[in-house]
Chain A
Amino acid sequence: QKEVEQNSGPLSVPEGAIASLNCTYSDRVSQSFFWYRQYSGKSPELIMSIYSNGDKEDGRFTAQLNKASQYVSLLIRDSQPSDSATYLCAVALSGGSYIPTFGRGTSLIVHP
């Protein structure tokens, strides 16, 4: 069974702090990794995609990938109350179909 694991949280951080969200996956041949943000009652919105080991930065967001450890993370710098949401990690598994498989998500609360 291919799995994507996330701590459900909630993760609570003060405004202006760095929020660190983590995700592990079980399929060693996974190739593509994505972070989505989902506000309550809304559909997921793509934040970042990462395909190679290392860091990828986009504004306040940094995705980190370590394929050897089967670990992907998302850092949010200068966290804002508007960042409060559930963050979903998704992994596209190889094998021909590249179907995105999602973790359960981590709830982030940024308090003023």
Chain B
Amino acid sequence: DGGITQSPKYLFRKEGQNVTLSCEQNLNHDAMYWYRQDPGQGLRLIYYSQIVNDFQKGDIAEGYSVSREKKESFPLTVTSAQKNPTAFYLCASRRGDREGTEAFFGQGTRLTVV
């Protein structure tokens, strides 16, 4: 089945620790996105990538890093510089850099600082 897979579903981070969230898609989509959602809030863009080996900062990139070495993979690292990382993280993908194409989401990773 085609889709977007995020792992893990739940993740616990200790203070000062870096953690990496996985996002893999087999839809052959060019564009991939990371969003953060806080309770009662909308989705805020962290990073996005339109093609392999290229990515751009979104609205709230501070404390996060990404890579796009393969078309199907777009991992997100939450670094110790992110002071309030507890949130629901959503990865999405779109067919390409064209108008009129929908974004589809993975099942999300819920990150909690302990």
Q: Is A46 an interface residue (CB 8 A)?
A: yes
Which residue of chain B has its CB nearest to the CB of A51? B100
Check A97 against B50 for contact (C-beta < 8 Å). yes
Verify if A42 is at the interface (C-beta below 8 Å from B). Answer: yes
The verdict on B70 contacting chain A, using a C-beta distance below 8 Å, is: no
A43 and B102 contacting across the interface, CB-CB below 8 Å: no
B107–A104 touching, CB < 8 Å = no
Partner of A42, one of B50, B94, B104, B107: B107
A104 and B48 contact, CB distance less than 8 A: no
Chain A-chain B contacts (Cβ-Cβ < 8 Å), number: 60
Tally chain B residues at the interface, Cβ within 8 Å. Answer: 27
Given contacts A97-B48, A99-B48, contact A104 B42 (CB under 8 A): yes
Binding site for A on B (CB under 8 A): 31, 33, 35, 40-43, 45, 48, 50, 56, 58, 90, 92, 94, 97-108
* Contact sample, A vs B, 29 pairs, CB 8 Å cutoff: A31-B100, A32-B99, A34-B103, A42-B107, A42-B108, A43-B105, A43-B107, A44-B43, A46-B102, A46-B104, A49-B100, A49-B102, A51-B99, A88-B43, A92-B99, A97-B50, A97-B97, A98-B97, A98-B99, A99-B45, A99-B48, A99-B58, A100-B92, A102-B35, A102-B43, A103-B42, A104-B41, A104-B42, A105-B42
